[in-house]
Structure 1
Amino acid sequence: MSRSLAAPSLALALVVLSGCKGDPNTPEYWEKKLGDARKTAVKVQVVEALRDSGKLQEGFLPMLHARLAAEKRPEVKAALARVLGDLKHPSSLEPLQAALDPSASEMDVHLMNKELAAALGKLGNPKAAPTLAGLLRSRDNYTRMEAIQALGALRAPEAVEPLIQLTLDENAEPLLNKKAIEALGRIGDARAVPALVRMLTKERRGISFYVESSLALYQVGTPAAEALLAALEGRDAELAQWAKQNGVHPASYAMKSAQILGDLREKRAEAALLKQLTFANEDARIQALVRMQAAEALGRMRATAAVRPLSALVSEEDPTVRGSYVRALVLLGGREALPALEKAASKGDWYAREVAMRGLAMLGDAREQPLFTKWAEAEPARTTTECNEYGGEGCEDPAALGKSRAESLQRYGQLLEAAQSCGAEGGCWAQKLADKNARLVERAALELGRGGAAQHAVALAGRLSEKDLETRFTLIQALDWLVDSKEGAVKAREALPKIQAQLTDEKGNNHFVKVNEDLRRLAIRLERP
């Protein structure tokens, strides 16, 4: 606590406790303080002082329960609820439930109900679920939100149906819909799957529910995979009809289902995803998006059958689209794609060529070093030609830009040298995780993840706070592969508290929001028994 805050807090404590006689370690002391207080604000101050005193223990519960039952003022009841929530004792269940006033319309009572719901959630007692489910009908959205979060934390199966109704409620605030979706994910009940699948493509007031719905389906697991596979293959007639009625593009479920099936590494989807690599649509953007999502999923799944069709796609001129195919090949590993990558590295603008070159550096070894030497020597002249033809960022000084690009190609040589020296030796690659070259760390993570040796889970987990987004993504993916084994999961689970703390610290940081969706999924895997 800062000095500026400490002084007022100390002054308040002295005001509240001044003139007290007796032992503050006893409930009788605090009971008298509450009894002597006449004003609501003073009563609340007494309760908060008790909460901050460090004196709270189980022996205070009878007094607190009695005060909660006798107290008439909602603000004081709310303060008492916070104290009981801190104690988390099973005996507080009935007193907290009895203090609720769900039919109230006054703001101070709504705030009281909110605190009571939060306290019930902290108890962790499944017997609170029916009462909390009843609060989903509250007139106050904040009370409903606390009830939703508590039901999710309790993983209450009896809350599934009302939470589904709230998820689909068009008249509810979008934030409530999102919270209901999150709670259904935590509960993990298969009954929620149809609603969650629909919410993947739902938008209301310009707000998308995809992030929450996709995570919830991932949490549900196998039952969700069944539904997503049916959506991907176009076998869900009811969903197709609903999509048509709601103006959802037919390709939307091809894209979104592929993403989640890849997250789940659902092997049954492999044939359908391979087929999606040849998806055709009159809109080139939609065609590319469907193919890109399929490629990403196949890469995550380590579907080796995808190497050949993906190699045929890396000639794509658009750097972003080409990058997705190259990324998938890099995840798959092996040298089979190198000829196609070498060919693509000579076509297109710098951004398209560099994507292919980078892929080759992630998969090759010293045998590819002459290629990078040649490309680096030719790059200044090629950059000058491109600048003269097209212009672009940095082209005010083509010579400097060409030199910078040549140097970046030369740095890829470190990856090839490491591949030559380390080969398949995991210990060697683990040492490379400490390197300052983000691309070398990325390659080391891939080698360790594909290698499958559980003992390297700790080293990978130690680098998950990496600031470079692509490197962090790769580290997460590599560790996720190792968690497939029991030994790998045990070792990686040691890092779970650190991962959870990182997710909390980086919450709201837009720089990490997308990559941390993958980190959150990894944390969910590690939380499972």
Structure 2
Amino acid sequence: MSRLLAASSLALMLVLSGCKVDPSSPEYWEKTLGKARRAQDQVRVIEALRSSGNLNANFLPFLHGQLASDKKPEVKAAVARALGDVKNVASVEPLGKAVDLGATDSGGNLMNKALASALGAIGDPKTVPELMRLLKARDNYTRIEAVDALGRLRAKEAVDSLIQIAMDETAEPFLNKKAIEALGRIGDARAVPVLMRMLTKERRGVSFYVESSFSLFQMGQPAADALLAVLQGKDDELSRWVKQNGINPASYSFKAAEILGDLRERRAEGALVQQLAFKHEDPRIQAGVRARAADALARMRSAAAVKPLAALVSEPDAGLRRQYTHALARLGGRDALPALEKAAGQGDWYAREAAIDALTMLGDAREQPALEKLVAAEPAKTTAECAELGGEGCEDPATLGKKRAEMISQYGQRLEAAKTCGADSGCWAKKLGDADKSMVARAALEVGRGKSAAHLGALLARMTEKDPDTRMALILGAEWLVEDTKEAAAQAKSSLPTLEKQLSEEKSRTEYVRANEDLRRLVARLQRT
């Protein structure tokens, strides 16, 4: 009901009743409610009370009495919503007594859902027993409300029940997912073995990886211990379960690497470097494991990974080469530049471009002559590639070659910026306002490496960047500053409401799914500190 409609309804009731009681008092509302006979009219009165601005703890005796005496579930649901607005722990017992676990009709289910929501809104540990009762409701929406509330309360008493729901093969997958998320919020190590299994679990075509991986990230150290054991082949129990369920063991190498990278688990560095040489009969699995190891090592800024990654940048597959070159771009330094310069002249256009991208993310004025040669050579390379392979744009190789040469020149602006800025993070911070997204990406990583909390605000100010890859660079730069300096961590924590709002508003935006998984982890780090 809109505020205007509620006010109009109340004005009419007041005229008809000739009521002289103070409209801000519980007595006024109790009398007004008493004059409403139909359930829908009673609901309107209660909703009008909620929107009136008068609702406070003085109304609790009236609302508690109404909740206990009324027989109509839709009215009880409205009262529960009002009690959820007040958020007073005195309402826990009345709300609990109103629960009807035997309800099967829509009215009873909606009432139970409202009761669960109100208990969750109160946000007090005293609500936990009642919320755990509601886990047994027949209605999934009620159970979801209870699961969410228990997760927000970090109720360790609920861990065993939530584990059962997470693993329940008969439950709706969405309910399984909500239980997994709640376990991550609670952070109890008892859930780690279950979350490890759910990483590879699929049911009815639904994967639980996203929820399980984030929950393990939230767990922190207990999850890192378990993932490291898997990566090193030391978790015999999980290995048996994997074999019994026909799961490819390599999928755990892939997934464990990704989460350990998110956790910045340096104990995994040696095992991850070894995975860069991972071999498998299926080239797709081999490529996937190597790529995830490269990404994880880049996230933890592993100096030990630069040399083995540089040896891989001649990879002919453009997609896999980009994974390696992107990792090197994030690792920083000049050690990989000779290998990148060589790779920039080899392979098809997409493979060459991946190397050029990384070359200009790391280089400076010293690489400008090499880039000029690449610009000059591109038209001929494009013509030869079109003759051999064909492809989009090859109906006019000369125009395509010219376009590609211009793209390489555009990348060269990063080298000009590096010549100007050097290691001056303040200079790079100014580049964050550049219209060229490729420039912003380099500037974000340079600022992140600079360890100056003074420039965190410039990174956070561009966090709504539309290009997902550029946004990921901004997030990573901010993460590095937060990890490296206490001042940046404190400053970023004050931005939590803004970042949380952005995540909420962009929840349904599929183009930002990958980038916002990183943003969600940044938010979780800040919440943890």
Aligned to 2:118: 119
Q: How far apart, CA to CA, are the structure 2 residues paired with 1:181 and 1:236?
A: 21
Aligned to 1:517: 517
8 Å contact from structure 1 (residues 445, 460) kept in 2: yes
Structure 1 residue 294: deviation in Å?
A: 0.4
8 Å contact from structure 1 (residues 37, 43) kept in 2: yes
Aligned to 1:19: 16
1:3-14 map, 5 Å: 11-14=8-11
Aligned to 1:45: 44
Q: Once superposed, which parts of structure 1, at least 4 consecutive aligned residues long, lie more than 4 Å away?
A: 5-18
1:325-353, Cα deviation, whole Å (9 max, x unpaired) = 11111111000000000111111000000
Structure 1: runs of 5 or more not aligned: none
Structure 1 residue 396: deviation in Å?
A: 2.6
8 Å contact from structure 1 (residues 218, 260) kept in 2: yes
Q: Given residue 498 of structure 1, which amino acid in structure 2 is its aligned partner?
A: T
Structure 1 residue 23: deviation in Å?
A: 2.0
Structure 1 residue 514: deviation in Å?
A: 1.4
Aligned to 2:261: 262
Aligned to 1:489: 489
Aligned to 1:417: 416
Larger mean CA deviation between 192-201 and 477-486 belongs to 477-486
8 Å contact from structure 1 (residues 90, 123) kept in 2: yes
8 Å contact from structure 1 (residues 365, 417) kept in 2: yes
Aligned to 1:433: 432
Aligned to 2:500: 500
Q: How far apart, CA to CA, are the structure 1 residues paired with 2:507 and 2:273?
A: 35
8 Å contact from structure 2 (residues 468, 512) kept in 1: yes
8 Å contact from structure 1 (residues 366, 417) kept in 2: yes
Larger mean CA deviation between 33-42 and 303-312 belongs to 33-42
Structure 1 residue 373: deviation in Å?
A: 1.3
Q: How far apart, CA to CA, are the structure 1 residues paired with 2:137 and 2:12?
A: 37
Q: How far apart, CA to CA, are the structure 2 residues paired with 1:369 and 1:59?
A: 74
Q: How far apart, CA to CA, are the structure 1 residues paired with 2:35 and 2:310?
A: 80
Aligned to 2:356: 357
1:134-213 map, 5 Å: 134-213=133-212
1:109-139, Cα deviation, whole Å (9 max, x unpaired) = 1110110000000001111112211211211
8 Å contact from structure 2 (residues 468, 514) kept in 1: no
1:334-345 map, 5 Å: 334-345=333-344
Larger mean CA deviation between 197-206 and 52-61 belongs to 52-61
Q: How far apart, CA to CA, are the structure 2 residues paired with 1:355 and 1:13?
A: 67
Q: Given residue 299 of structure 1, which amino acid in structure 2 is its aligned partner?
A: A
Aligned to 1:399: 398
1:335-378, Cα deviation, whole Å (9 max, x unpaired) = 00000001111110000000001100000001111122111122
Q: How far apart, CA to CA, are the structure 1 residues paired with 2:74 and 2:396?
A: 67
8 Å contact from structure 1 (residues 16, 42) kept in 2: no
Q: Given residue 514 of structure 2, which amino acid in structure 1 is its aligned partner?
A: K
8 Å contact from structure 2 (residues 6, 44) kept in 1: no
Aligned to 1:296: 295
Q: How far apart, CA to CA, are the structure 2 residues paired with 1:7 and 1:122?
A: 26
8 Å contact from structure 2 (residues 6, 47) kept in 1: no
Q: How far apart, CA to CA, are the structure 2 residues paired with 1:46 and 1:336?
A: 72
**Aligned-pair RMSD on alpha carbons?**
1.4
Q: How far apart, CA to CA, are the structure 2 residues paired with 1:355 and 1:375?
A: 13
8 Å contact from structure 2 (residues 479, 522) kept in 1: yes
Aligned to 2:332: 333
Q: TM-score, normalised by structure 1?
A: 0.97
Q: How far apart, CA to CA, are the structure 2 residues paired with 1:94 and 1:380?
A: 77
Any idea what SS the aligned residue of 1:19 has?
A: helix
Q: How far apart, CA to CA, are the structure 1 residues paired with 2:412 and 2:227?
A: 42
Any idea what SS the aligned residue of 1:315 has?
A: coil
Any idea what SS the aligned residue of 2:230 has?
A: helix
Q: TM-score, normalised by structure 2?
A: 0.97
Q: How far apart, CA to CA, are the structure 2 residues paired with 1:513 and 1:15?
A: 49
Aligned to 1:227: 226
1:86 aligns with 2:85: yes
Q: How far apart, CA to CA, are the structure 1 residues paired with 2:13 and 2:498?
A: 39
1:61-76 map, 5 Å: 61-76=60-75
1:375 aligns with 2:374: yes
Any idea what SS the aligned residue of 2:511 has?
A: coil
8 Å contact from structure 1 (residues 458, 495) kept in 2: no
1:141-200, Cα deviation, whole Å (9 max, x unpaired) = 111111001101111000000000110111111000000001001111111000001000
8 Å contact from structure 1 (residues 469, 515) kept in 2: yes
Structure 1 residue 17: deviation in Å?
A: 4.9
Structure 1 residue 504: deviation in Å?
A: 1.1
Structure 1 residue 14: deviation in Å?
A: 4.3
Aligned to 1:408: 407
Q: How far apart, CA to CA, are the structure 1 residues paired with 2:5 and 2:318?
A: 59
Structure 2: runs of 5 or more not aligned: none
Q: How far apart, CA to CA, are the structure 2 residues paired with 1:282 and 1:16?
A: 78
Structure 1 residue 89: deviation in Å?
A: 1.3
